[in-house]
Structure 1
């Protein structure tokens, strides 16, 4: 059985200034960890062919499929507010693009496939822990209904990767609607390459925003998608950890799962990333950082928005300022559903905020508290149950005014509040087990998270928040 992938590449047609042609670096002894069967089939790829020696060799970077055009993409970026004019794919290689079963163009990329011209001091490799973390979390985001890159496969390389100490190396096969970022536009804008910015704009409009009429319309489309995306993150207690402009994807998908995490106890200032020492990307700051990132995109597009600089700045500023109302509407929509509301009242924002305040004061678990709504066991999740009691009276009165039945409200909450998320301590457990050669915890968590809103009696241990000695307070990039 020979692996075939129906490549239909478009990004390489933009020309060499957009990327460096770079083949993956072969590894010593590749072995398969897992294949995402349903995703493979949606991409028109035979999952059994991916499991063959040739398929595993392709996933590891040791062999090439006909039609592949391996490249490392160029981009710049603001990293923690500091601009770096050249970043690019330092350990990722885009093999090519396919059209999936839904008619959507998808990138297939190997992450951890070796050095590229953009690697700088890096080794271009990834170790097993970050590969499994991204696999689990990105697939969980997909089943939670949040736009995201996805994981097609993971392989071990048979080689050690040295970070603090030697770890087993691995390669993740990542799928995205594209890997074009705000930083991709910045890369050309900072060089004054107006032609490249125009070419990139035209490409993105064709690929992601076919109804957009020019650069300003494109900007508005990106703003709308980012507003919705960040609201969805907030609704599941997700903290990205590195919202740099090179990690802000133009198509509106979550990308680059480095020191990401889901909150256990709710607090708006929660930070997990070991490199975010000032809390720039804390949970509560994510909407503001999205605005900041979008302002950098707007700046890159100014010459295409209007030949008159003053008019361009005015139009772009007006567009970016729309993020606030768009995000607020999306956030209210997400959290109204989480508390069982089907229509809108002016006081809903204050009602939701009141619950979140009491959760923070009462050390309530974010996921389990929302999941318990309507169960009669809500008080159990607060160290001071009186905080719940004070809020609940107003909530019940609001539910009574909503116009929907109690059964409808409970059904809405059940499909809006997941029972299961990839909790940090469980992800850490599966990584430690996998390093020792035991992939059963990884396989189990993936299986359970494939249906995160369902009642799964055999997964009750995975719903439990960490005990004090199990807490994972910091997460790491793994680069």
Structure 2
């Protein structure tokens, strides 16, 4: 069946200041490694073609472009970033009526590459494919993976020559906090207003102007971060250019899921100060929203009033985060309507887990069974906690729907990548299949934490 993508492009209709039009850079030997049939069907795509998803052929109806944005990276403002190794092919309207971007990642250099090669190697492509699809299965808002294609060309990194690949990523959009920042920083108010109007129409049509947009994005980000926390996910690079207006998880670089629970856990090899540690993610989300607020304030003539309104919205976000966190973690211990009175019970369990190095995922998955106490060396302390917990009459069925049995563990991802580099896609297929049903124990060997010699202490972004 020949490939057909029902493009319906809107971002390409915005002024040229928002992007640079260019085609992907062709590769030598495109080979389809993974294709997401279910997602393709949802997007109305028929057929598949490695030459298209490698960037060798621009499909009919596409409007390829690289988007412009800026951003704070580890707290430092970079005035121009942009898609340095990605091309937005265009948009489709999916079966639910939602507009979604189709983007090639690793598709060659662009004017925003900042001396980079614009390419991706196989490891990060497969990592993002696996982890983003796992997040979708966990019902956490996320970009999706449609295809992974080998290029046949080497990519050079610190490790030497590595096999190249291109990921086809699908997202509600690729609008970021940094997209607003670049125009606000430059004083391009007309473009900033156009962008705000576009974002409202596309994502938050009920929002009342820029302040309504800020309020909607803050609420979405609060829910998203609470969802991350509830599954032990660490994004790794919560820069403002990786923070979406839609409230989706995007840009899976040095991300990871925790094994042993540690509040200060960091995986990113470049996060030397722990800015984006697990426990810091709520605080950073608020900080990022303050940067969005700073940009949107430029749209108002009465700056004092705008600052007052934006400050109130951003200052309300910690309470939104706390409420979302309490609801999520309450459900994890079987409480349908957790209140502030239950928070000490949750925090005590987390403290016991941190003291004993208990596995985050397996501890919650085992609650209510005899094996739960096996996660702890101080079983008496856990038993005392469990006695108080049982007095709350936890809903075991709620816990089963909330606590995954399986997550994409780092050591399994690294083993999968190593096998794929050697030409064996079997571990990738096994892992992807198991992660599609995270609340069912279908492959017990994939549930276990890493042995000492399997621990992956750091992850890398792949650029």
How high is the TM-score relative to the length of structure 1? 0.96
2:406–2:441 Cα contact (<8 Å) kept: no
Match for residue 296 of structure 2 among 301, 310, 313? 301
Partner residue of 2:95?
101
Partners in 2 of 1:197 and 1:350 — Cα distance? Answer: 44
Question: Over residues 10-30 of structure 1, what are the superposed CA-to-partner deviations in whole Å (9 max), with x where a residue is unaligned?
Answer: 001111100001100000000
Match of 2:6 in 1: 6
1:209 aligns with 2:209: no
Distance in 1 separating the partners of 2:154 and 2:340: 57
User: In the alignment, what sits opposite 1:428?
Assistant: 414
Aligned to 1:475: 459
- Structure 1 residue 383: Cα displacement: 2.2
CA-CA distance at 1:462 after TM superposition: 0.3
Q: What is the match of residue 437 of structure 2?
A: 451
User: Does structure 1 retain, via aligned residues, the 8 Å contact 2:177–2:292?
Assistant: yes
Q: SS at 1:155's partner residue?
A: strand
Counterpart in 1 of 2:127? 133
Q: Which runs of 4+ in 1 moved over 6 A?
A: none
How far apart are residue 466 of structure 1 and its match? Answer: 0.3
1:359 maps to 2:343: no
Secondary structure at the counterpart of residue 116 of structure 2: coil
Q: Which residue in the other structure is 1:115 paired with? A: 109
Which residue of 355, 372, 376 corresponds with 2:366?
A: 372
Q: Is the CA contact 1:362–1:387 (under 8 Å) kept in the aligned structure 2?
A: no
Q: Distance in 1 between matches of 2:379 and 2:19?
A: 57
Counterpart for residue 386 of structure 1: 380
CA distance in 2, matches of 1:134, 1:342: 33
User: What is the distance in 1 between the residues matched to 2:356 and 2:338?
Assistant: 27
Q: What TM-score results when the alignment is normalised by the length of structure 2? A: 0.99
Contact 2:326 2:339 in 1 (8 A): no
Alignment check: 8 A CA contact 2:359 2:449 kept: yes
**Aligned counterparts of 1:86 and 1:251: Cα–Cα separation in 2:** 21
Rounded Cα–Cα distance in structure 2 between residues aligned with 1:197 and 1:384: 56
Does the 8 A contact of 1:149 with 1:174 survive in 2?
yes
Residues 331-370 of structure 1 correspond to what in structure 2 (within 5 A)? Answer: 331-370=325-364
Structure-2 separation of matches of 1:349 and 1:125: 46
1:76 correspondence with 2:70: yes
Q: Which of 59, 69, 78 pairs up with 1:65?
A: 59
Residue correspondence of structure 1 range 405-424 to structure 2 within 5 A: 409-424=395-410
Give the aligned length: 462
- Could you say what the CA RMSD is over the residues aligned between the two structures, in angstroms? 0.8
Task: Give the match's secondary structure for 1:161.
Answer: strand
Per-residue deviation, 1:149: 0.2
Q: CA deviation at 1:193?
A: 0.4
Partner residue, 1:402: none
Q: Which moved more, 1:80-89 or 1:344-353?
A: 344-353
Partner of 2:172 in structure 1?
Answer: 177
Report if aligned partners of 1:24, 1:93 keep a CA contact under 8 Å in 2.
Answer: yes
Distance in 1 between the 2:63 and 2:220 partners? 29
1:339-388 CA distance string (max 9 Å, x none): 00112333111110010000000110000000001112211001221221
Describe the SS at the equivalent of 1:20: strand
